[in-house]
Amino acid sequence: MRQLYPSELQTILKELQRQKTIEEYSEQRNRWAFLAAVVSNGFSGIARMFSKRRGKQKEITPDDFISKEFKKLVGADTKNKRQGSGFEKNIQDAKQKGLNGPW
């Protein structure tokens, strides 16, 4: 750690924060928002059974329980990472050398 430059430490810190944000989003969506959607859909199904109106109700998805700001933050973060991944340079280099790949 002491041998790293301050700019390298800042880059590592930003990457760790990005990974933590993505992990929090994944956990929230896959566990808690999914559970909330299942419970909400179950209650609405039970209420529909006892209701005189038997119309089709909108199904609730896990994304309905996650704020738009948080989705934008995670979406922009992953989009920036995909665009600046640096793989494009490696792909062009491999194409120039005549290597074949999935691209």
Q: Locate 68 and state its tokens.
A: 């738009």
Q: pLDDT category, 40, cuts 50, 70, 90?
A: very high
Alpha-carbon span 52 to 38, nearest angstrom: 23
Q: Residue 78 pLDDT > 80, yes or no?
A: no
Q: Residue 92 pLDDT > 80, yes or no?
A: no
Q: Kindly report the pTM of this predicted structure.
A: 0.54
